[in-house]
Structure 1
Amino acid sequence: MKRAQHLLLLFSLIFIQGLSAQSIDELVQKTSKSLIKNKEFRAVSIGIYKDGESYIHHFGTLPTGQSPNNDTRYELGSVTKVFAGYLVAQAVLEGKIELDKDIRTYLTDDYPNLSLEGTPITIKDLVTHTAGLPLFINSEVAKAYQGLQPNVPDVIFEFEREYTKDKFLESLYNIQLTEKPGTTYAYSNAGAELIGNILSSVYNKPLNELYDQFILNKAEMNHTSTEIDNELAQGYWMNNTEASKLSENLLWNTGTGLKSSLPDMMKFIAYNLSEDPIIKESHRLLYEKKTRWMGYFWNIWKDKYGTSFNHHGGTTGTQNWLYIFPKYDLGISIFVNHSGPKTPQKLNKAAKAILKELAY
Structure 2
Amino acid sequence: MKYSLLLASLFFIVSFQKSFSQENNLDGIIPEIIKKNGEKFVKSKNISSVSIGIYKDGRVYTEHFGEIVKGKNNPPNDNTIYEIGSISKTITGYLVAKAVLNKKIKLEDDIRIYLDGNYPNLEYKGVPITIKHLITHTSGLPTFLPSRMNGLYEKLTKEVPNEYLALEKSYDKEKFLNELTTVSITTEPGIHYLYSNSGAELIGCILEKVYHKSIDELLKENFSDTFNMSATTIKLDSLQSKNLVRGYWMDSETPAPNNLNPLWGTAGGIKMTITDMMRYIELQLDDNNPIVSESHKALYEIRSPLQIGYYWRIWKDKYGTSYNHHGGTSGTQNWLFIYPKYNLGISIITNQSGPKTPKLLNKTAQKMLKELIKE
Q: TM-score by structure 2 length?
A: 0.93
Equivalent residue for 2:257, pick from 236, 245, 261 = 245
- Aligned mates of 1:47, 1:268 — CA distance in 2: 11
Tell me which residue corresponds to 2:311: 297
Equivalent residue for 1:101, pick from 106, 109, 126 = 109
- Does the residue aligned with 1:359 lie in a helix, a strand or coil? helix
User: Is 1:184 matched up with 2:192?
Assistant: yes
Amino acid at match of 1:178: T
Change in Cα spacing, 1:150 to 1:23, as seen in structure 2 (3 Å) is: same
Tell me which residue corresponds to 1:194: 202
Contact 1:77 1:313 in 2 (8 A): yes
Q: CA deviation at 1:143?
A: 3.2
Change in Cα spacing, 1:6 to 1:126, as seen in structure 2 (3 Å) is: closer
What does 1:280-319 correspond to in 2, within 5 Å? 280-291=293-304, 292-319=306-333
- Does the residue aligned with 1:241 lie in a helix, a strand or coil? coil
User: Is 1:171 matched up with 2:183?
Assistant: no
Tell me which residue corresponds to 2:357: 343
Amino acid at match of 2:188: K
Equivalenced residue count is 360
- Aligned mates of 2:149, 2:24 — CA distance in 1: 50
User: Is 1:233 matched up with 2:233?
Assistant: no
Q: Which runs of no fewer than 5 residues in structure 1 stay unpaired? A: none
Q: CA deviation at 1:41?
A: 1.1
Change in Cα spacing, 1:12 to 1:290, as seen in structure 2 (3 Å) is: closer
Amino acid at match of 2:235: E
Q: CA deviation at 1:122?
A: 0.2
- Does the residue aligned with 2:29 lie in a helix, a strand or coil? helix
- Aligned mates of 1:235, 1:220 — CA distance in 2: 26
What does 1:252-271 correspond to in 2, within 5 Å? 252-271=264-283
- Aligned mates of 2:52, 2:69 — CA distance in 1: 18
- Does the residue aligned with 2:227 lie in a helix, a strand or coil? coil
Compute the RMSD of aligned alpha carbons: 1.5
Tell me which residue corresponds to 2:289: 276
Percent of aligned positions that are identical:
46
Contact 2:52 2:347 in 1 (8 A): yes
- Does the residue aligned with 1:143 lie in a helix, a strand or coil? coil
Change in Cα spacing, 1:9 to 1:82, as seen in structure 2 (3 Å) is: closer
- Aligned mates of 1:139, 1:201 — CA distance in 2: 24
- Aligned mates of 2:17, 2:323 — CA distance in 1: 36
Q: CA deviation at 1:142?
A: 1.8
- Aligned mates of 2:128, 2:15 — CA distance in 1: 63
- Aligned mates of 2:75, 2:217 — CA distance in 1: 31
Q: Which runs of no fewer than 5 residues in structure 2 stay unpaired? A: 1-5
- Aligned mates of 2:89, 2:260 — CA distance in 1: 16
- Aligned mates of 1:264, 1:345 — CA distance in 2: 24
Tell me which residue corresponds to 1:118: 126
